[in-house]
Amino acid sequence: MIELTNLSKRYRSARAVDDLSLTVRPGRVTAFLGPNGAGKSTTFRLLLDLDRPDSGTALVNGSRYAALGEPLREVGALLDANGLHGGRSAYHHLLCTAQAGRIPRRRIAEVLGRTGLTDVARRRVGGFSLGMRQRLGIAAALLGDPAVLLLDEPMNGLDPEGIRWIRGLLRDLAGEGRTVFVSSHLMSEMALVADHLVVLGRGRLIADGPLAEFTRDGRSLEDVYLDLADSDFRSN
């Protein structure tokens, strides 16, 4: 479970997150949508204590990330798949993460298998395609078998087979009772995979509800989303 309460973060010129209150519940895929610069990545960073809020709280399973005893076992995150150390093999990357998080080694083979990377585990990450890096970032997020997953644009760089794979993975993770909070600009994919929608506009919450409610009248998620974003834009 993720709970944001009156969360705000301002950078010099921009109000990145603006009085955001939101609960993201387990057992479903929650799509985190919003135009470029709406504050999605900032929200993820605040949840992971990679940045400090100006006010408000961001809690995972009732605690601030920094207060979690074994954070990798509670929250798995994919932020920027390009931020990996290119000289390491995929296995070594996961080994370092496992050691830092006091996670048993046997989990490495499990997550390599789950992300389809077993055959390339000994290859250097520097030679990986973006899609393979995304898979490795997801493998690292899954290493601690966490109940909460924060995935920032996990479909980036994946080929059609990879997109189908991640669709199944997200559904399975939610089916296992995890909280799956996933940002994306791919509306057609989110329409297939999400149970619940959260839409941000300029740091503020502009929609929060079950996907089925938004698309009840037969409109596509893309149309619904663009209307929401447009009315938010016009309101200021």
Ligand X SMILES: Nc1ncnc2c1ncn2[C@@H]1O[C@H](COP(=O)(O)OP(=O)(O)OP(=O)(O)O)[C@@H](O)[C@H]1O
> Which residues here bind ligand X, judged by CB under 6 A?
11, 14, 16, 34, 36-42
Structure tokens at 19: 């009085």
Which residue's CB is nearer to ligand X, number 40 or number 133? 40
Please say whether the beta carbons of 194 and 30 come within 8 A: yes
For residue 200, the minimal CB distance to ligand X (Å) is 7
Work out the burial of residue 157: count CB atoms within 10 Å of its CB; fewer than 13 is exposed, 13-18 middle, 19 or more buried: middle
Which residue's CB is nearer to ligand X, number 18 or number 138? 18
Q: Which of 82, 52, 30, 5 is nearest to 211 (CA)?
A: 30
Please say whether the beta carbons of 3 and 30 come within 8 A: no
Which residue's CB is nearer to ligand X, number 36 or number 235? 36
For residue 132, the minimal CB distance to ligand X (Å) is 21
Which residue's CB is nearer to ligand X, number 107 or number 202? 202
Please say whether the beta carbons of 15 and 200 come within 8 A: no
Structure tokens at 175: 């089916």
Which residue's CB is nearer to ligand X, number 37 or number 177? 37
Instruction: Give the containing element (helix H, strand E) for 12.
Output: none
Which residue's CB is nearer to ligand X, number 18 or number 112? 18
What residue ranges in 141-222 does DSSP mark as E strands? Answer: 148-152, 179-183, 196-201, 204-210
For residue 53, the minimal CB distance to ligand X (Å) is 13
Which residue's CB is nearer to ligand X, number 92 or number 185? 185
CA dihedral over 104, 106, 109, 112, signed as positive or negative: negative
Query: What's the start-to-end Cα distance of the chain, in Å?
Result: 32
How many whole angstroms separate alpha carbon 163 and alpha carbon 156? 9
How many whole angstroms separate alpha carbon 104 and alpha carbon 97? 11
